[in-house]
Amino acid sequence: MNILRSEFLKLVSVRTTWILLGLMILIEGLVAGLITGLADKKDLRLANVPDLLVGTPFSILFIVTLGALISTNEFRHGTANSTFLVTPRRERVILAKLFVGFVVGLVAALLFVAVNAGLGLSILSSRDVPVDSDTAVNIYIGVGVGFILICLFGVALGAVVRNQIAAIVGGLALFLALRGTITLFIGDDVGRYFPAESLLGLQGNPKGEGVLLDQVDGGLVLGAYCLALAIAGLFVTRTREIT
């Protein structure tokens, strides 16, 4: 418990955490409000509702970055020295960071759903645009689990690649920049198992049916990536030299 308290203190005692979460909510709120409020009703009925529920790529950007910062701040600012002096069993530190990443992903998911559903769905309802409640719930669950997993992915990636810039750029490249491009070359059959594509599958956007993995499989594949990275992060942190 001590190490968890310490890791949560590290998270909340820097402004970056609040800035990234605040920006995420602000952007998602603005986008949800503007699209549902200003878009043509016909367009909303036809196509845009599932996209709106999934949110913008900005959420991914902020959450992957937050996850990577949880791990890499230790090396970026040299606090790994004192952290590992107080807790020489380094794997405990990484496990605590993964737990913090889980909580950050969960909080981000709850905030996202609160803003997206509270603002977007209420505006849609007031404009008589129907939203299938089963679809909405499935998408929100997928988005929420996805947020938790990509935050964990960021934490684990940061534990393996301790260079902060490399971890953040690598994470964003995997989930944003390379999204869709790999599948162009190797096809959907293999491409849908890549991190970004498995996240899209997990989010459950109906437009991805047949191309992407279904929600459960997408979650399992992304979870497997996180697990593999976390194990690698635990191993290298335990054995690496802190210089």
Structure token pair of residue 211: 């191309």
How many residues form the binding site for another protein (CB under 8 A)? 26
**Residue 82 CB, nearest distance to another protein (Å)?**
6
Rounded CA separation 35/40 (Å): 9
Stretch that binds another protein, among 30-38, 75-83, 118-126, 136-144 (CB under 8 A): 75-83
Structure token pair of residue 205: 């956007």
Rounded CA separation 154/233 (Å): 11
**Residue 238 CB, nearest distance to another protein (Å)?**
10
Question: Which of 78, 118, 130, 180 forms a contact with another protein (CB under 8 A)?
Answer: 78
Rounded CA separation 61/197 (Å): 15
Does 163 engage in binding with another protein (CB under 8 A)?
no
Question: Which of 23, 58, 84, 95 forms a contact with another protein (CB under 8 A)?
Answer: 84
Query: Nearer Cβ to another protein, position 82 or 125?
Result: 82
Nearest of 166, 168, 152 to residue 94 by alpha carbon: 152
Exposed e or buried b per residue across 12-37, where buried means at least 16 C-beta atoms within 10 angstroms of its C-beta: eeeeebeebbeebbebbbebbbebbe
Does 71 engage in binding with another protein (CB under 8 A)?
no
Nearest of 34, 16, 131, 31 to residue 76 by alpha carbon: 16
Query: Nearer Cβ to another protein, position 162 or 179?
Result: 162
Query: In 77-163, where does DSSP find H-type helix?
Result: 80-86, 90-115, 122-126, 133-160
Nearest of 91, 143, 96 to residue 115 by alpha carbon: 143
Intra-chain end-to-end CA distance of the chain, in Å: 28
Does 73 engage in binding with another protein (CB under 8 A)?
yes
Question: Which of 83, 116, 138, 203 forms a contact with another protein (CB under 8 A)?
Answer: 83
Question: Which of 45, 87, 117, 235 forms a contact with another protein (CB under 8 A)?
Answer: 87
Does 77 engage in binding with another protein (CB under 8 A)?
yes
Question: Which of 40, 134, 189, 241 forms a contact with another protein (CB under 8 A)?
Answer: 241
Does 5 engage in binding with another protein (CB under 8 A)?
yes
Does 3 engage in binding with another protein (CB under 8 A)?
yes
The alpha carbon of 84 is separated from its chain's Cα centroid by a whole number of angstroms, namely 27
**Residue 193 CB, nearest distance to another protein (Å)?**
37
**Residue 121 CB, nearest distance to another protein (Å)?**
37
Q: Interface residues with another protein (CB under 8 A)?
A: 2-3, 5-6, 9-10, 13-16, 73, 77-79, 81-89, 241-243
